[in-house]
């Protein structure tokens, strides 16, 4: 049988499989990808990603100019995942497009496959000041994570010009990504911007490069509750690459904590203070250990566990008897990091308990142990009533089995297990795993 | 008669004088004068300070009534920018208050040795440092020539003259070290150093001798020589390129020592790499092991601090050290057998040890085939060699008087012995692997229950050789029992002896680089390798430079991710 006949048969089988699963045909999916209805668009995107069918290249290439920025991003992801031999022509033709955003899209995708020849065009588009803000933003969004001298130089130039806050953020993300210290003079100008978030981001980036910065001003802005979570998150991420921060900045974060109600922000601040090893934060974190929001409780406990050190492990061992299941689990995890496995039984007990939040954490933490005693409870947790717990258990097993058995190979994907699949399908996969584990010599 | 009497008397006098001389010399021999104690790195190293605190120390100086002149000699590398040196200096100058201290600025690599002449204009000083660090570049620079030029240039300034060399990278590029010592001594200049920690017995430049910059003597060890055998067979992570020594680089430490200065160790906050098995990934944790980066303990480091005498004096001293001489012999034989990649740095010459030119050997051809019987036979022979050499070191340790031998030498010999025992265990594991390999590759493989699938796919891959990775001892030896490793249980006495030796090393040298070396060692996990099918698809735009390329000067290669234990670049946290 020739290869072409085989391809045709495979195509028919694939088409039948798709139609039997009740999926839409490719042209409909491509049309939905350009829809303004978010749900419809995401569903189409997911279906096309799962399809991984080179047959989508033609329809997508034809529809691409009609899409908005998000639709184009989705289409680019789908095309990037397909063999380069099938998409190269499309991207090359995009380089000649009238639409600057499409030209950049083509250049970036070609660059991902090792061909940076289009980046000259992309850099030129970024330098063009005649485009509208929305177009420039669409161009910059695609160039944030492109590591090339031409792009970095263009961003450096663009940073000196007036731009929207969103555009400035994208450019700063690029400066951080490529660690372009030469952008510091342009960033210094931005520290006097009227926009609070532009100002704080600029200061944080300058700080990230170890350059002189007004620490008092940065501290005041860090403590300012008007700085959104996204901006704060950017700032803290960038500062991670910089030198060890002075205490004034850590104190500013503690000030911000006092009036902060957003769990994400609180947990992020605790994570940062733990990374900075700011010991006075321990006392601040203690009341948050019982926080009803698990992210906050986990971050607060993580900070305490990280900063207490080995001499104070007894305090952590006492936490194994806490009334809150989550705290018991987190204490066990902290002890495990110090090679103390005494919390394993506690985690297994919580995993079999009634507390949903505790079970989720227990499944996650159990996956971090590298002990055979953890395998059976994790297999059981694959049938937990809670999907998050099931997901954690599956991830943990997938990491643990190859680690504990270096001379065995596992094809867990073949089991067909998914945490969100129907109970019957999950039960089949779990039965196979149980049979394998039962057959293992003890 | 009178004349003869005279001669007789004069002869007698000579005889009497000679006898007296003999008597005195015999008494001197019986009561030896105490030798002046050799300075060690522990005497000059200042550890655990923040950059702000280091700057304060430099600016305030010790108690002296003399007027002081301090020259900041800046080596403009990106690490200094990341360390926020400018900010630390600005804070330090503010905190200093009114003082008579005159400060000057020099930049390594400048034609003029002084960029700002010593004075009290702090804004000018800060501006010069900011300018120097505006476009920092990683390059190999001649710091020692810069120190010499500066010492000579400032010779005429009255009072106490101090140079503070701030260099995070270039202490390993030596150029006329002893001449620099002499210039500092002659001009009466004190040299302080702010720099990184050396790696324990750093082997980086020895291994890359062919690519090292020709203008310099590239070193970088904490001691006069790389005294710990490195490049062990079946070890993926090299302690000599990943374990910080806790002391500065030998060359700069010696300069600080002879001039009466200090070596301030500075650890960049974000470059400290944690996590065990840096090159292989740890199978016993999720990369969150809290004990990996145990801090070094100053009092324990003091015992194993390397001496800071000149290399010539170091060779003389080592020639008199029977334990070190035995180590060199054993190292040489291990190299000949292919158990270590390196050859010893010194060899026995007439009267004293001489430097060895040929430093690189070759591994025993063990893994480069699929002839399992042959591999197993060679592994067995090498395991026997390991046993013999380990016993020899054990005997040397037992014979030696611990009071007459340096503790560093003892630590090195003990570590080497453990390496032999671990290598022997790894060779036994290789034999166990070879015994099972035909079964794994054969057509009639043992069927396995899903989700398990056959370990290897001989039909898909063209296996050509055996390869190995490591599981480190960072979690202790007992934790390894949790892993299913064929041959580990069968290794019996060899396993027990190796594990006991590792545990011994971990407990005896915890809080020192030798303890961390024990953590970096590991047992081998074997697999097969097949030729790569991926080609290089990267294309360059004609007429453009590739990203990150540097222009002019000798670019300093990045030491991160070299795949042999050198992770973390200048990561020097302890």
Does the distance separating the beta carbons of B83 and A243 come in below 8 Å? yes
- pLDDT > 90 in chain A, percent: 48
Q: Which of residues 22-41 of A touch B (CB under 8 A)?
A: none
In this prediction, residue B7 has a pLDDT band, given cuts at 50, 70 and 90, of: low
Q: Are B180 and B255 in contact (CB under 8 A)?
A: yes
**CB proximity list for B541: less than 8 A, separation 6 or greater:** A116, A117, A119, A120, A150
pLDDT at residue B539 is higher than 70:
no
Whether residue B85 lies within 8 A of chain A, CB to CB, comes out as yes
d(CA A401, CA B250): 46
Q: Which of B80, B81, B452 sits opposite A409 (nearest CB)?
A: B452
pLDDT at residue B431 is higher than 80:
yes
pLDDT at residue B551 is higher than 50:
no
**Which residue does chain A place closest to B436, by CA atoms?**
A407
Looking at residue B525, what is its pLDDT?
94
Structure-block tokens of residue A357:
């939040």
**CB proximity list for A146: less than 8 A, separation 6 or greater:** A108, A111, A119, A122, A174
Where is A362: in which H helix or E strand?
helix A356-366
d(CA B225, CA B331): 14
List CB contacts (< 8 A) between B544 and chain A. Answer: 149-150
Q: What is the pLDDT of residues B140-196, one digit of tens each?
A: 999 999 999 999 988 888 889 999 999 988 889 999 999 999 999 999 999 999 998
Does the distance separating the beta carbons of A408 and B455 come in below 8 Å? yes
Q: What is the pLDDT of residues B105-140, one digit of tens each?
A: 999 988 877 899 999 999 999 999 999 988 888 889
Which has more confidence, B139 or A23?
B139
Whether residue A211 lies within 8 A of chain B, CB to CB, comes out as yes
Does the distance separating the beta carbons of A147 and B547 come in below 8 Å? yes
| Helix, strand, coil fractions of chain B, as percent rounded to 5 | 40, 15, 45
Whether residue B525 lies within 8 A of chain A, CB to CB, comes out as yes
Structure-block tokens of residue A158:
């663009």
Q: Which of A114, A243, A244 sits opposite B538 (nearest CB)?
A: A114
d(CA B44, CA B483): 45
Q: Which of residues 151-190 of A touch B (CB under 8 A)?
A: 181-182
Longest Cα–Cα distance in chain B? 118
d(CA A327, CA A290): 8
d(CA A432, CA B91): 65
Q: Are B293 and B274 in contact (CB under 8 A)?
A: yes
Q: Which of B50, B450, B484 sits opposite A405 (nearest CB)?
A: B484
Q: Is the bond into A207 cis (omega within 30 degrees of 0)?
A: no
Whether residue B406 lies within 8 A of chain A, CB to CB, comes out as no
Structure-block tokens of residue B253:
């430490």
List CB contacts (< 8 A) between B524 and chain A. Answer: none
Q: Which of A147, A404, A436 sits opposite B449 (nearest CB)?
A: A436
**Three-state DSSP class for B484?**
coil
In this prediction, residue B2 has a pLDDT band, given cuts at 50, 70 and 90, of: low
Where is B541: in which H helix or E strand?
none
- A355: DSSP letter: -
**CB proximity list for B352: less than 8 A, separation 6 or greater:** B315, B316, B319
Whether residue A238 lies within 8 A of chain B, CB to CB, comes out as no
Give the lowest-confidence range in A21-30, A73-82, B13-22: B13-22
List CB contacts (< 8 A) between A436 and chain B. Answer: 449-452
DSSP of A176-230: HHHT-GGGHHHHHHHTT-SSHHHHHHHHHHHHHTT----HHHHHHHHH-TTS-HH
Q: Which of B85, B288, B483 sits opposite A404 (nearest CB)?
A: B483
Whether residue B291 lies within 8 A of chain A, CB to CB, comes out as yes
Q: Are B71 and B164 in contact (CB under 8 A)?
A: yes
**Which residue does chain B place closest to A414, by CA atoms?**
B451
Whether residue A150 lies within 8 A of chain B, CB to CB, comes out as yes
Sign of the Cα torsion B369, B370, B373, B377 reads positive
In this prediction, residue B270 has a pLDDT band, given cuts at 50, 70 and 90, of: very low
Scan for tokens 């892993």, then name that residue: B483
Looking at residue B497, what is its pLDDT?
96
Whether residue A117 lies within 8 A of chain B, CB to CB, comes out as yes
**CB proximity list for B311: less than 8 A, separation 6 or greater:** B224, B225
Looking at residue A31, what is its pLDDT?
93
Whether residue A194 lies within 8 A of chain B, CB to CB, comes out as no
Does the distance separating the beta carbons of A242 and B288 come in below 8 Å? no
List CB contacts (< 8 A) between A150 and chain B. Answer: 541, 544
Does the distance separating the beta carbons of B539 and A115 come in below 8 Å? yes
Residue pairs between chains A and B whose CB atoms are closer than 8 Å = 139
- Distinct helix (H) and strand (E) counts, chain B: 17, 14
Burial of B329 (0-12, 13-18, 19+ CB in 10 A): middle
Looking at residue B6, what is its pLDDT?
56
Q: Is the bond into B451 cis (omega within 30 degrees of 0)?
A: yes
pLDDT at residue B75 is higher than 80:
yes
Scan for tokens 């360390």, then name that residue: B83
Looking at residue A157, what is its pLDDT?
92
d(CA B412, CA B407): 9
Whether residue B275 lies within 8 A of chain A, CB to CB, comes out as no
Test the B interface: residue of A85, A303, A344, A403 with most B CBs within 10 Å: A403
Cα–Cα distances in Å, from A267 out to A221, A260, A262, A263, A367?
19, 10, 9, 6, 22
List CB contacts (< 8 A) between B51 and chain A. Answer: 243
Structure-block tokens of residue B397:
């340790």
d(CA A330, CA A302): 8
Q: What is the pLDDT of residues A260-309, one digit of tens each?
A: 778 899 999 999 998 888 888 988 888 888 788 888 888 888 888 888 76
Average pLDDT for chain B: 84
List CB contacts (< 8 A) between A337 and chain B. Answer: 285, 288-291
Where is B222: in which H helix or E strand?
none
Q: Are B193 and B171 in contact (CB under 8 A)?
A: yes
How many angstroms separate the CA of residue A299 from the nearest CA in chain B? 15
d(CA A210, CA B51): 12
Q: Which of residues 315-334 of A touch B (CB under 8 A)?
A: none
Looking at residue A61, what is its pLDDT?
92
d(CA A355, CA A346): 14
Does the distance separating the beta carbons of B475 and A210 come in below 8 Å? no
Scan for tokens 């380990």, then name that residue: B390
Does the distance separating the beta carbons of B485 and A241 come in below 8 Å? no
Q: How many CA atoms lie less than 13 Å away from A343 in the CB half-sphere?
A: 34
Does the distance separating the beta carbons of A213 and B87 come in below 8 Å? yes
List CB contacts (< 8 A) between B130 and chain A. Answer: 212
Sign of the Cα torsion B130, B134, B138, B143 reads negative
Q: Which of A117, A213, A372 sits opposite B539 (nearest CB)?
A: A117
Where is B45: in which H helix or E strand?
strand B45-46
Q: What is the pLDDT of residues B277-332, one digit of tens each?
A: 666 678 898 778 877 766 788 888 999 999 999 999 999 999 989 999 999 999 99
Whether residue B475 lies within 8 A of chain A, CB to CB, comes out as yes
Does the distance separating the beta carbons of B484 and A408 come in below 8 Å? yes
Cα–Cα nearest to B304, from B201, B229, B150: B201
d(CA B53, CA B267): 13
List CB contacts (< 8 A) between A207 and chain B. Answer: 84
**CB proximity list for A290: less than 8 A, separation 6 or greater:** A297, A324, A327
In this prediction, residue A6 has a pLDDT band, given cuts at 50, 70 and 90, of: low
d(CA B212, CA A327): 54
Looking at residue B98, what is its pLDDT?
82
Burial of A395 (0-12, 13-18, 19+ CB in 10 A): middle
List CB contacts (< 8 A) between B451 and chain A. Answer: 410-412, 414-415, 432-433, 436
DSSP of B411-425: HHHHHHHHHHHHHHH
How many angstroms separate the CA of residue A174 from the nearest CA in chain B? 14
Looking at residue A438, what is its pLDDT?
92
Q: Are B274 and B292 in contact (CB under 8 A)?
A: yes
d(CA B52, CA B266): 11
In the beta sheet, which residues pair with residue B189?
B161
Phi, psi of B82 (to 5 degrees): -60, -35
Whether residue A85 lies within 8 A of chain B, CB to CB, comes out as no
How many angstroms separate the CA of residue B175 from the nearest CA in chain A? 30
Whether residue A353 lies within 8 A of chain B, CB to CB, comes out as no
Give the lowest-confidence range in A138-147, A286-295, A345-354, B472-481: A286-295
Query: Rounded to the nearest 10 degrees, what angle do helices A325-337 and A356-366 cross at?
Result: 10
d(CA A63, CA A66): 6
- pLDDT > 90 in chain B, percent: 49
- B570: DSSP letter: T
Does the distance separating the beta carbons of A368 and B539 come in below 8 Å? no
Test the A interface: residue of B450, B458, B474 with most A CBs within 10 Å: B450
**Which residue does chain B place closest to A334, by CA atoms?**
B290
Cα–Cα nearest to A364, from A372, A374, A376, A354: A374
**Which residue does chain A place closest to B477, by CA atoms?**
A339
d(CA B280, CA B286): 13
Phi, psi of B54 (to 5 degrees): -65, -45
d(CA A233, CA B136): 28
Q: E-assigned strands of A211-310? A: none
**Which residue does chain A place closest to B276, by CA atoms?**
A337
In this prediction, residue A148 has a pLDDT band, given cuts at 50, 70 and 90, of: very high
Q: Which of B78, B85, B291 sits opposite A338 (nearest CB)?
A: B291
Q: Are B482 and A369 in contact (CB under 8 A)?
A: no
In the beta sheet, which residues pair with residue B195?
B265
Structure-block tokens of residue A236:
């803290």
How many angstroms separate the CA of residue A117 from the nearest CA in chain B? 6
**CB proximity list for A389: less than 8 A, separation 6 or greater:** A351, A356, A359, A360, A362, A363, A381
**Which residue does chain A place closest to B90, by CA atoms?**
A212
């Amino acid at each position: 049988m020739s290869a072409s006949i085989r391809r045709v048969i495979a195509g028919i089988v694939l088409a039948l499989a798709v139609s039997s699963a009740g999926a839409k045909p490719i042209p409909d999916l491509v049309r939905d990808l350009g829809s303004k209805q978010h749900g419809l668009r995401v569903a189409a995107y997911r279906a096309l990603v799962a399809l991984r069918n080179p047959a989508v290249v033609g329809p997508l290439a034809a529809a691409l100019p009609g899409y908005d920025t998000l639709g184009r991003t989705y289409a680019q992801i789908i095309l990037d995942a397909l063999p380069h031999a099938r998409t190269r022509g499309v991207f090359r033709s995009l380089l000649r497009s009238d639409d600057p955003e499409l030209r950049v899209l083509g250049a970036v995708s070609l660059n991902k496959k090792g061909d940076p020849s289009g980046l000259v065009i992309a850099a030129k588009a970024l330098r063009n000041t005649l485009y509208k803000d929305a177009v420039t933003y669409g161009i910059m969004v695609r160039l944030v994570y492109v590591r090339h001298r031409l792009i970095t130089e263009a961003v450096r130039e663009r940073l000196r010009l007036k731009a929207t806050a969103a555009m400035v953020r994208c450019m700063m993300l690029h400066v951080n990504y490529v660690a372009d210290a030469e952008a510091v003079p342009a960033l210094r100008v931005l520290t006097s911007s009227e926009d609070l978030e532009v100002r704080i981001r600029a200061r944080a980036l300058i700080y990230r490069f170890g350059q002189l910065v007004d620490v008092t001003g940065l501290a005041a802005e860090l403590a300012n509750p008007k700085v959104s979570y996204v901006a704060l998150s950017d700032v803290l991420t960038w500062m991670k690459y910089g030198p060890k921060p002075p205490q004034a900045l850590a104190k500013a974060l503690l000030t911000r904590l006092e009036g902060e109600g957003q769990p994400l922000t609180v947990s992020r601040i605790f994570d940062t203070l733990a990374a900075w090893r700011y010991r006075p934060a321990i006392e601040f974190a203690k009341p948050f250990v019982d926080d009803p929001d698990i992210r906050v409780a986990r971050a607060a406990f993580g900070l305490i566990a990280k900063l207490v050190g080995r001499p104070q492990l007894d305090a952590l061992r006492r936490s194994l008897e806490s009334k809150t299941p989550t705290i018991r689990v987190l204490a066990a995890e902290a002890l495990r990091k110090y090679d103390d496995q005494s919390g394993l039984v506690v985690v297994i007990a919580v995993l079999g308990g009634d507390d949903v939040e505790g079970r989720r954490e227990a499944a996650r933490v159990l996956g971090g142990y590298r002990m055979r005693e953890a395998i059976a409870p994790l297999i059981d947790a694959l049938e937990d009533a809670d999907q998050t717990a099931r997901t954690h258990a599956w991830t943990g097993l997938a990491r643990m089995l190859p680690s504990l058995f270096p001379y065995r190979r596992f094809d867990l994907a073949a089991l067909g297990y998914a945490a969100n699949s129907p109970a019957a399908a999950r039960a089949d996969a779990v039965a196979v795993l149980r049979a394998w584990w039962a057959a293992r010599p003890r | 008669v009178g004349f003869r009497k005279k001669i007789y008397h004069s002869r007698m006098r000579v005889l009497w004088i000679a006898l007296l001389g003999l008597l005195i010399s015999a008494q001197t021999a019986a009561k030896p004068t105490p030798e002046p104690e050799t300075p060690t790195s522990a005497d000059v190293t200042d550890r655990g300070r923040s950059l702000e605190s280091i700057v304060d120390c430099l600016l305030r100086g010790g108690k002296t009534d003399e007027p002081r002149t301090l020259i900041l000699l800046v080596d403009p590398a990106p690490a200094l920018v990341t360390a926020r040196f400018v900010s630390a200096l600005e804070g330090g100058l503010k905190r200093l208050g009114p003082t008579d201290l005159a400060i000057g600025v020099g930049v390594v690599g400048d034609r003029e040795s002084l960029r700002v002449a010593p004075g009290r204009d702090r804004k000018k000083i800060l501006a010069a440092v900011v300018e120097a660090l505006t476009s920092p570049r990683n390059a190999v620079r001649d710091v020692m020539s810069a120190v010499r030029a500066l010492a000579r240039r400032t010779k005429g300034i009255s009072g106490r003259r101090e140079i503070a060399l701030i260099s995070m990278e270039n202490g390993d590029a030596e150029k006329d070290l002893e001449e620099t010592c002499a210039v500092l001594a002659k001009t009466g200049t004190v040299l302080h150093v702010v720099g990184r920690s050396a790696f324990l017995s750093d082997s980086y430049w020895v291994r890359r001798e062919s690519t090292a910059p020709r203008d310099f003597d590239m070193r970088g060890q904490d001691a006069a020589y790389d005294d710990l055998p490195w490049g062990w067979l079946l070890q993926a992570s090299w302690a000599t390129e990943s374990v910080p020594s806790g002391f500065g680089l030998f060359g700069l430490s010696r300069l600080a020592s002879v001039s009466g200065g200090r070596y301030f160790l500075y650890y960049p906050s974000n470059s400290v790499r944690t996590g065990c098995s840096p090159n292989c990934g740890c199978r016993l944790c999720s990369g969150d092991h809290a004990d990996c980066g145990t801090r070094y303990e100053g009092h324990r480091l003091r015992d194993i601090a390397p001496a800071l005498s000149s290399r010539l004096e170091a060779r003389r001293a080592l020639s008199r050290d029977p334990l070190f001489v035995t180590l060199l012999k054993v190292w040489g034989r291990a190299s000949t057998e292919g158990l270590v990649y390196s050859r010893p740095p010194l060899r026995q010459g007439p009267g004293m040890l001489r430097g060895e030119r040929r430093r690189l050997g070759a591994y025993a051809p063990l893994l480069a085939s699929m002839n399992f019987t042959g591999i197993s036979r060679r592994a067995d022979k090498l395991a026997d060699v390991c046993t013999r050499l380990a016993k020899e070191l054990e005997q040397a340790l037992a014979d030696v008087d611990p009071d007459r031998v340096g503790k560093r030498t003892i630590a090195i010999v003990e570590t080497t012995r453990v390496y032999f025992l671990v290598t022997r265990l790894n060779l036994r594991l290789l034999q166990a692997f070879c015994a099972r390999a035909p079964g794994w590759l054969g057509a009639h493989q043992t069927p396995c229950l899903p989700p398990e699938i056959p370990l290897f796919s001989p039909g898909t891959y063209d296996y050509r050789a055996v390869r190995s990775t490591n599981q480190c001892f960072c979690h202790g030896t007992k934790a390894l029992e949790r892993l299913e490793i064929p041959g580990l249980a069968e290794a019996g006495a060899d396993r027990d002896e190796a594990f006991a030796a590792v545990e011994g090393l971990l407990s005896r040298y915890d809080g020192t680089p030798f303890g961390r070396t024990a953590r970096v060692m590991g047992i081998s996990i074997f697999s097969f390798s097949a030729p790569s099918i991926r080609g290089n698809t990267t294309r360059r735009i004609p007429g453009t430079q590739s990203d990150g390329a540097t222009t002019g000067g000798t670019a300093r290669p990045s030491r991160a991710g070299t795949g042999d234990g050198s992770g973390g670049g200048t990561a020097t946290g302890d």
